[in-house]
Structure 1
């Protein structure tokens, strides 16, 4: 998997080979194979495992399908079927807006990869709706459904969504291209500004470039990931792959006017979030000198900077500190004051514009 003609051809070949084999399994055969696959974990967005098909590793994700989503009039619908509040879109313990949206996002991104428009997404080889048992513990981070509902301002729609997940007896099973590491693990093994990748760039500069390319591509195509932390981003050391589209929102979805406006405001969200996550969680050891992250960034933009910061890291902080502060302040208000805190889209765009990145015609973004 790499951004070359041979790498693209190999991925397309694997897509055809693995997809064809999976499509030949009956539902019973496929369900048995999934049940036998070694588990990798479970969480608020589903359960995952790994299997081998035609000599290739395949990542398997089971996303709960609720009775509402399985009604004939709602099959494959990307509408907001539970009428969830738009603040549920943020990655702060949300189960997402439904399995069909996640499927649609993967179908879109797979199409972009196959057409060689952008390599940075795992291919969706196959998908199937299969019987499953209700997921357990998906709301444990809040102490259960009641705690999760309280976290989301007591929203009745969130309760309906969570209770429906808890009763689900089918899953949307996604069979995805296997990528060996999360970006968090990969970068954690290179927590040294001096380390280089094969291109000769520092590991941090390479990651920054990959984040900018990926977020700009998604924004330019009307897609917002909303949860691009580094456990949801994967890498083989040649490319960063944006994965796990459980919270994704796209202009191709069936959106209300309010949702379309929300999406337009948030086309800068990933572009702020992903580099901001790099600054908050993955700077080399010792760069902050013991300062709290927010204070460190505020001091940085005022010119109060610790000695000894490597030049590559200093340049990355320069490019992303201002918009990271904007997003950090928003997240703090969102989590501590009100879930209805408006996203400061204008302020975020101004911060990005100051650093050479502005909105392009048609809603995309472009470097200046």
Structure 2
């Protein structure tokens, strides 16, 4: 019972990271495709202002996932990281380079340096979700089992490739939706239209990839495919489709707060549906939740520590997101630092 509870917490943590981290990676995707220095100046400026207060906190969910894996399900952790160390290592390198690029490009004075760090940030935002998705595809396609040796075959299957592409498309979709809201908050109507078009395009690509994923998994990942077309897995697939329709409808109107909710609903429903499709396995057909679980005493303490952590961390994270979405975390302007009067020209808003 405790093992099942911890498995649910693990799935919810993965879902939280897919939504929060995916939004950040999506912002990097649009940074990469914004165009040259002059053409991409304002979109990139919006991306900087939107990400600056929250980009680091989204990795809290990834740390949470890793702690639960190696503490609660050590066999799962050992198996996954042994069999797919290369794509996971590439994803980690991407995270490090992405963070360094984002942190260093703004204070760098030389244009060449800003371009270099910006390129590192943007490319890493594409690489990291792809390799994370490819690793998930390796699990879903039953290529990872206790004792599996590391090889390219484990994470280069059709399921891995399509999952990697879907992860990139998902992050691009989420990033565009949230940037649309940020453009509205910063009163930049042209950027609202700019990112709304990209959000609709991302949703269309994601829909196509969802159909392709269905065809691929029916042949390459039969257990997960069966789970996605029956029971709770099917329920969450239908729910993701309903959220997608609602998101498209809201994007065609004047986008507000609700479009963010429905966009997150699309991704969260898809991830939870994948988790439900694998029941009762953590690694389909080879490692069940019960077999992967650690010692009962360890699971009990992990459940207690997890509850305490959620009670302490979740309100703080929610408060941070709320403050950011209400513009309470804006940077100080030069005039404020000098103690002078506030001038619109000093604002860091994208349309200034």
TM-score of the superposition, structure 2-length normalised? 0.30
TM-score of the superposition, structure 1-length normalised? 0.29
Where is the helix percentage greater, Structure 1 or Structure 2?
Answer: 2
Where is the strand percentage greater, Structure 1 or Structure 2?
Answer: 1
